[in-house]
Copies of this chain bind each other. A is one copy, B any other.
Amino acid sequence: MSVSMEKIVSLCKRRGFIFQSSGIYGGINACYDYGPLGVELKNNVKAFWWKSMVYDNDNVVGLDAAILMHPKVWEASGHVAGFTDPLVDCKVCKQRFREDEIDPEKLKIRQCPKCGNKGSLTEARQFNLMFKTNMGPVEDSSSQIYLRPETAQGIYVNYKNVLETSRQKIPFGIAQIGKAFRNEITPGNFVFRTREFEQMEMQYFVKPGNDQEAFEEWKEKRKNWYRALGIRQENLRFHEHQGDELAHYAKAAFDIQYNYPIGWKELEGIHNRTDFDLTRHQEYSGKDLTYFDDVNRERFIPYIVETSAGVDRTLLTCLVDGYAEEELENETRTVLRLAPHVAPVKAAVFPLVKKDGMPEMARKIHQELKKLFNVFYDETGAVGRRYRRQDEAGTPFCITVDSQSLQDDTVTLRDRDSMEQERLPIAGLGHELEKKIRTGE
């Protein structure tokens, strides 16, 4: 496996998975739009996460908090003071750089990496990565708010609301999917690091002392989830944060890393955040955020184990892990081996040729199947080319109506990965496909 990022970007653009945002205006840096196939893949990834977290765990409930929050939230969380990168300016060419990304030799003599002037770099200042805006009709510091740089805080400030309304007891979790924004100085690598992105986070509230056990449990559950998503095990590994890597709020942290074309990188973080967050919010809000355990008659601030994944990054992982180019007899085929349950289109229906009643029969099958899942109909061009188009889109199954179909009410079912075909009766086809699609879960 050694697909380049360029091939992924090219496939995404060519097939309508992902476009550069505002492309007709030359684009906007580090923002992307999901096209017809991309949005289906993304929705499937999100739905599978939601099912795995909320529906499969009786003690996890969902939440959807606003992107715009009270500015005090970000003081309590530490983002106002500490969510920064060190920036230096070149006094000559006016360019800005992240100090920690300048070659140390050049930095020593304050030499600009762009214009080459020596002694031209200013001292570093701390640049906050939160996007700022103003709410209400007055534009001054009193109305300044932020676009949330993470979804987690929306869960912490609602934890008492959820407790009071959902009949949960500790240990319990709150799961959320939503957008977050970071004014990254050096975003890049396609949708790996963007300024607007989507997170899938679950915060698990436990009694102090039970945190390590919960941490281990979720670490395993989350790694298994990627396997259920269809990601190959050899491309996944744990990376433990040690020493300086460990955030100030974390007692323990593991990344699930994936073997991207750009190397092993974080796909998801699992953190033992201790009682840091709730303690801070209790302090800054003046509200009681303790939990009362009515069995053991004790009161405490819960510890939190967090599982934090990126939607865009997970989608990228599906694309990278599934991408393959295969040498066939006379051609190279590009195929996207997505797990059937996340594939944008589950099946494509073709008439072998555009005559003799085949299109009519194929359309009828298409109409029936699309009551069950997303199905595509195509009658244009040679059937071989239609197969290739679906291979590239990750469609796991193709159904072809041929002359035999007209006689015995059967069709061929072609498998994307093996390219093998079997003949099946039209009656019961939907049921058969549903079984095959569900296998991945």
Contacts and interface: CB of A to CB of B under 8 A. Distances in A.
B161 A19 contact: yes
Nearest to A33: B65
A67 B196 contact: yes
Contact of A16 (B26, B165, B374): B165
Interface in A136-167: 136-138, 145, 147, 154, 157-158, 160-162, 164-167
- Counting contact residues on chain A (CB < 8 A from B), the size range is 35 or more
A162 B25 contact: no
Interface string A10-37: 0001111001011111111101111111
Contacts of A55: 370, 374
Dominant SS at the A interface? mixed
A287 interface: yes
A13 B166 CA distance: 11
Interface in A149-204: 154, 157-158, 160-162, 164-167, 179, 181, 183, 185, 195-196
Contact of A42 (B38, B64, B287, B380): B64
Given A132-B133, A137-B96, A185-B137, A157 B65 contact: no
B62 A40 contact: yes
Given A87-B137, A161-B35, A167-B380, A66 B185 contact: no
B35 A377 contact: no
A107 interface: no
A206 B378 CA distance: 21
A200 to B, nearest CB: 13
Contact of A21 (B21, B40, B70): B70
A67 B179 contact: yes
A11 to B, nearest CB: 11
Contacts of A185: 136-137
Contacts of A160: 24
A401 interface: no
Contacts of A138: 96
B69 A21 contact: yes
A429 interface: no
A3 interface: no
17 contacts: A14-B165, A16-B162, A16-B166, A19-B161, A22-B157, A24-B157, A29-B136, A32-B66, A39-B63, A39-B64, A42-B64, A66-B196, A68-B195, A133-B133, A135-B183, A147-B147, A167-B380
Interface of A: 13-16, 19, 21-29, 31-40, 42-43, 50, 55-56, 58, 61-70, 72-73, 87, 96, 127, 131-138, 145, 147, 154, 157-158, 160-162, 164-167, 179, 181, 183, 185, 195-196, 281, 284-285, 287, 289, 370, 374, 377-378, 380
